[in-house]
Amino acid sequence: MSLIISKKGQTAQKLDKASFEKEDYLQNYIHENPESIPVYEIAEDKKLLVICREFPTESGPIDALAIDKDGDLYIVETKLYKNPDKRTVVAQALDYGASMWKHLNDFNEFLNRVDKEVQAKFKMSFEEKVKSFFAIEQENYQMLLENVSSKLRDGNIKFVILMDSMDERLKDLIIYVNQNSQFDIYAVQLEYYKFNEYEIMIPKIFGVEVKKNIKGASTGGQRRKWTKEDFLKEAREITNAKTYSAVENLLNFSYQNSSKVVYGTGNNGVVSCKLNTTGGEITPYRLESKGILIFGLDYVLYQKEKVSQEKVYAFIDELKKINGIDARDGVNFKQSELHFDLSTETGQKEIETIKEKFINFIKEVTK
């Protein structure tokens, strides 16, 4: 393909497609110009921030690691068409994803690695860069971190295969994988032209047009509107009778004892409990339709102007006394994320104890 450029309809010149000499130049280009990855075709307001190059994993270095405003994590693998191993690029990207999911168990360690990369590149912290790039405030930044942590823990990672040219076989492979699995893989072809000191890039993305035909798969950027009925329906379909009963019990409890409940907009059912304290609104826990209760008190501790940290720590100590509680480190505070599995016999036995302790916490923070 050639381009024709002219000045005011005159002196037209033909530009033939140029070529990248090295993959390193392609990697650096997307790092400096992340808008060259056209995720805005997935959703109009979506854009990527490339946070790392050559991110180390047990399977080798990832060419580029990126995030979007929703906290989705993207592995970007670059290949030149002339590279003889280009046919294995999809398997290579998936291998990196599996390695991140299996070996990056400490989210704080992950953040520290990323922060060092961002500091070196942009001369500012990861937090500052994210807030500036996506134009978000502290609360949305915390939600983004929670989403990244959750996606990393669940292995819910998106993939971008970026090349200067792409044959039909690779496009067909990516469309096939997208349509017949829960993976989200996008192929980006970045055509390259040069005119004097200018570079012209024409990005084309493939894989967005595929409509997933399996339950629970991504819908290409569209957000789902959940209701109580939808949430309970999914819980009934994906859990057993005892787990469903526990989920329904806690959901009804949330309606009765929260200031309000807010449903997420992702592919899986999540409902958050909101509570009005004397200092403002906080979110002490969220309930997942698969039967997981999470007291995300890391951000509540961060909001010390809204609620006393002493009272939150006292609540955490009370929760830790319950059998089956799994206390994990949060982004800012140790042992501040408490997970409870309602699918276990222990989880089902301790529901009333959890409700009792939460009611006591409500009394403390609202008086």
Dihedral sign for Cα atoms in the order 144, 145, 148, 153? negative
- What pLDDT does residue 217 have? 44
In angstroms, rounded to a whole number, what is the distance separating the alpha carbons of residues 130 and 137? 10
Mean pLDDT of 229-254: 95
Evaluate whether the domain defined by 2-206 bears CATH number 3.30.930.10: no
In angstroms, rounded to a whole number, what is the distance separating the alpha carbons of residues 191 and 20? 10
* Angle value at C-alpha 167, between 161 and 168, nearest 5 degrees: 100
In angstroms, rounded to a whole number, what is the distance separating the alpha carbons of residues 218 and 174? 15
The domain at 228-366 falls in which architecture?
Alpha-Beta Complex (3.90)
- What pLDDT does residue 258 have? 92
Percentage, residues of the chain above pLDDT 90 = 38
In angstroms, rounded to a whole number, what is the distance separating the alpha carbons of residues 71 and 66? 10
Q: Is residue 210 predicted with pLDDT exceeding 70?
A: no
Domain ranges of the chain: 2-206, 228-366
245 against 333, higher pLDDT: 245
8 A C-beta contact, residue 171 and residue 191:
no
Total-model pTM: 0.63
212 against 4, higher pLDDT: 4
pLDDT, mean over the chain: 86
Q: Is residue 318 predicted with pLDDT exceeding 70?
A: yes
- What pLDDT does residue 86 have? 67
- Per-residue pLDDT tens digits for 28-50: 888 888 888 888 888 878 899 99
Any bridge partners for residue 282, and if so which? 275
8 A C-beta contact, residue 262 and residue 250:
no
Beta sheet of 158-163, edge-to-edge order = 49-55, 62-67, 73-79, 158-163, 184-195, 198-206
φ and ψ at residue 248, rounded to 5 degrees: -60, -40
- What pLDDT does residue 39 have? 86
